[in-house]
Chains A and B, each alone.
Chain A
Amino acid sequence: MKRIRFILSALLFLAIATQVNGQKMKKHMENSGYKIGDSATDFRLKNVDGNMVSLVDYTDAKGFIVIFTCNHCPYAKAYQDRIIALNDKYAGLGYPVIAINPNDPKVEPTDSYEGMQQRAKEKGFTFPYLFDDGQKVFPQYGATKTPHVFVLQKKNGKNIVRYIGAIDDNYANANDVSHKYVEAAVDALLANQPIAQTTTVAIGCSIKAQKN
């Protein structure tokens, strides 16, 4: 009888322990990365021209369109021209594009620093294209895929996250877009209006890390 009681209590303990553990894991997953209203970290990353770039360098900016993107992903490629157009439209209005390649080139050789330099040259990127060497930045933002956009607004020396998600609602065809999510978000910020849609989701290529 004692033995049975011991086994039962051991089982109960195990059941509780696994449940608590599961809840912890779930909580951890839900909490990873920024939410709307969080203050985003600055960084110091190497641009394709060899210079180091930080958000703090942009003294005149009102905010940023930070885009995690890369060379190899078909979705990222489909958006290259639209990213250039975003920078052309909004850099002058105080919201420049800052593109960051978060992928580990050991896992995806196309996304090497040299590959980035080549792509930036071919496409004539008008914005910095930074390499998240060591993959320290994308996990803090909570980026999971390319392309993945974070619109930041400068406020009291902080960069506040105002929008997270997709560029628009049709990666495959730029001529058949009904909702330009990023443009709508930045336009709202410029007009001091609330952003109608602060988060969106779209299919993208998972960010390539070695443990993945």
Chain B
Amino acid sequence: MRNLVILIMSIMTLSGFGQNVVKKKNEQVATPKQKQVMKIVNFDQLQTVLKKNDNKLYVLNFWATWCKPCVDELPGFMEVNKSFRSNPHFKMILVSMDIALEFDSGVKSFIAKNKIEPDVYLLDDNKRMNEWIPAVDKQWSGAIPATVFYRNGKKLEFKEGKMEKRELVQIINKYL
């Protein structure tokens, strides 16, 4: 009899424990978010991210908080990011062209307010624009928004101007 009680108790404990594990796992599945990176970089630092040989499709969007067409296209980008972010071969990064002095005051509050989830790098490399703009794409006139797609250090596509959600999804599906 005593043995039976012990057995039942152990089963209950075990199953309870098991439930906890399952629950924890579920929580992790529901929120696969990694910690958001937000930092000021120069172009060399940005390139180390782009040159990673990790088989990931990098979608980089050049934007600024004051740029109306950029801000207009962001909700579409965020929806797309939500539907692809669990894919280990996908990563979206926003590259802010805002002035570095306004990173904490302007950019970070914009990110929080608009629930921007991808990593945000503020590219602070004004004096070398004439070098890094053509390095991103020879056809880029420098107008923003602009979006570029990379994998394993290789540029796959470049688009200057506002992008519709459908077009963005099309390009991502082409390479994923």
Q: Looking at the assembled complex, report how far the CB atom of B162 sits from the nearest CB atom of chain A, in whole angstroms.
A: 6
Tier of interface size on chain A? 20 to 34
Q: Main secondary structure on chain A at its contact with chain B?
A: loop
Question: A60 CA to B36 CA in the complex, in Å?
Answer: 59
* Smallest beta-carbon distance B43→chain A, Å: 12
* Cα(A30)–Cα(B140), bound, Å: 10
B residues near A133, Cβ cutoff 8 Å: none
Interface locus among B65-73, B85-93, B109-117: B65-73
**A145-B142, A203-B97, A203-B144 known; A170 and B127 CB under 8 Å?**
yes
A207 contacts the other chain (CB 8 A): yes
The residue among A202, A205, A212 with the most chain B CB atoms within 10 A of its own CB is: A205
B32-47: which residues lie under 8 A (CB-CB) from chain A? Answer: none
Q: Which residues in chain A, 143-172, are within 8 Å of chain B measured between CB atoms?
A: 144-145, 148, 165-166, 169-172
B145, A206: Cβ atoms under 8 Å? yes
Cβ contacts under 8 Å, A108 to chain B: 68
Chain A residue numbers with a CB within 8 Å of B7 are: none
Name the CB-closest residue of B to A171. B126
What's the nearest-Cβ distance from chain B to residue A181, in Å? Answer: 8
Known: A201-B133, A203-B133, A204-B142. A212 touches B161 (CB 8 A): yes
Q: How large is the interface on B (under 10, 10 to 19, 20 to 34, 35 or more residues)?
A: 20 to 34
Query: Which positions 182-212 of chain A face chain B at CB distance < 8 Å?
Result: 200-208, 212
The answer to whether A202 touches B130 (Cβ under 8 A) is yes
B80 at the interface (CB under 8 A from A): no
Q: Is B160 an interface residue (CB 8 A)?
A: yes
Q: For B133, what are the chain A residues with a Cβ–Cβ distance below 8 Å?
A: 201-203
B162 and A212 within 8 A (CB) = yes
The CA-CA distance from A144 to B142 in the complex, in Å, is 8
B99 close to chain A: CB less than 8 A: yes
Q: Which of chain B's residues has its CB closest to A206's CB?
A: B143
Tell me, yes or no, whether B19 is within 8 Å of chain A by CB.
no
In the complex, which residue of chain A has the Cβ closest to the Cβ of B66?
A74
Q: Decide: A144 near B130, CB < 8 A? Known: A74-B66, A206-B144, A207-B143.
A: no
A201–B142 CB distance below 8 A: yes
A170 to B142, CA, bound (A): 14
Q: How far is the CA of A85 from the CA of B142 in the complex (A)?
A: 24
Contact of B126 among A29, A172, A206 (CB under 8 A): A172
Per-residue CB proximity of B104-136 to A under 8 Å, as 1/0? 000000000000000000000011111001100
Name 14 A/B residue pairs within 8 A (Cβ), A-sorted. Answer: A107-B68, A144-B141, A178-B127, A200-B130, A201-B134, A202-B129, A203-B133, A203-B143, A204-B142, A206-B67, A206-B145, A208-B68, A212-B161, A212-B162
A interface with B by C-beta (< 8 Å): 29-30, 74, 107-108, 144-145, 148, 165-166, 169-173, 176, 178-179, 200-208, 212
